[in-house]
Amino acid sequence: MHIPNGFIDGPVSAGAGVIAVAGVAVGLRGARRELDERTAPLAGLVAAFVFAVQMLNFPVAGGTSGHLLGGTLAAILVGPYTGVLCVAVVLLMQGLFFADGGLTALGLNITIMGVVTVVVGYGLYRLTLGLLPARHSSVPIAAFVGALVSVPAAACVFTLFYAIGGTTDVSIGKVAGAMIGVHVLIGIGEAIITAATVSSVLAVRPDLVHGARGLARPLELRSAGETR
């Protein structure tokens, strides 16, 4: 669900807008480093992938269904900078052209769903990967942890913005309880799908998984007669 107009007051929306612009600017610079001159087509196609994957519904308990946010997934697959950029572009398109999420709340939506999920998700992914043995089989576990925490973290940041600039007098405890409670559940779904998707890409094209670079054992040359 994207934040609509008028939900969070003007100054806080503007502040979040500044964070979002800074995040996108850092993403643009970093993506050029990650993808060099291939940035435009590749980031565009990955953004289209994130957009499509968000339509992929999976059933949650009680007949409701959830969908992937994709921030952590994109960051692990193509790198954090390109990841922020892709999610931000998807949100920008949804806000500008599909009227999904308010125009004045665009900064909030990009900050919460783009910057926070990627920074928290990818940060935790790296941290967990550092603690686990340097093998390909560690990657899905680290991806699970990153995605699991990224969604409730985004809910926490939303609650924070609401506490500073909410336009309705709802006690912060109630907002935090409802938001974080629901998003812990969503986070579990996100974590399962993210880990499974990363491991399926890893099985077919390990070279494409940005977050798994440097984990593959270097190839060794052996002559035909050599025995071991």
Partner 1 sequence: MTGGPEHRLFRPGDSPVHRLPPHCKLLALIGFVLATVSTPREAYWAFGAYAALLAVVAAVARVPAGFVLRRMLVETPFVLFALLLPFVADGPTVEVLGLTVSHDGLLGAWNVLAKGTLGVVAGVLLAATTELRALLLGLQKLRMPPLLVQIMSFMLRYGGVITAEMGRMRIARESRGFVARDLRQTPAVAKSAGALFIRSYERGERVHLAMLSRGYTGTMPILVDTRASAAQWAAAATLPAAALAVWAGALLR
Q: Angle CA(24)–CA(176)–CA(66) in degrees, nearest 5?
A: 65
Which of 44, 131, 137, 163 is close enough to bind partner 1 by CB under 8 A?
Answer: 44
The span from the CA of 113 to the CA of 88, in Å, is 8
With respect to partner 1, which residue has the nearer C-beta, 68 or 221?
68
Report if residue 55 touches partner 1, rule: CB under 8 A: yes
The answer to the question of residue 200 lying near partner 1 (CB under 8 A) is yes
- Contact pattern from residue 84 through residue 113 relative to partner 1, giving x for each residue in contact according to CB under 8 A and a dash for the rest: -xx--xx-xx-xxxxxx-xxx---------
Stretch that binds partner 1, among 119-127, 151-159, 186-194, 216-224 (CB under 8 A): 186-194
What tokens were used for 198? 């990363």
Nearer to partner 1, 40 or 131 (CB): 40
List interacting residues with partner 1 (CB under 8 A).
1-2, 4-7, 10, 24, 28, 32, 37-49, 51-53, 55-56, 58-61, 68, 77-78, 85-86, 89-90, 92-93, 95-100, 102-104, 167-171, 174, 189, 192-193, 196-201, 204-205, 208
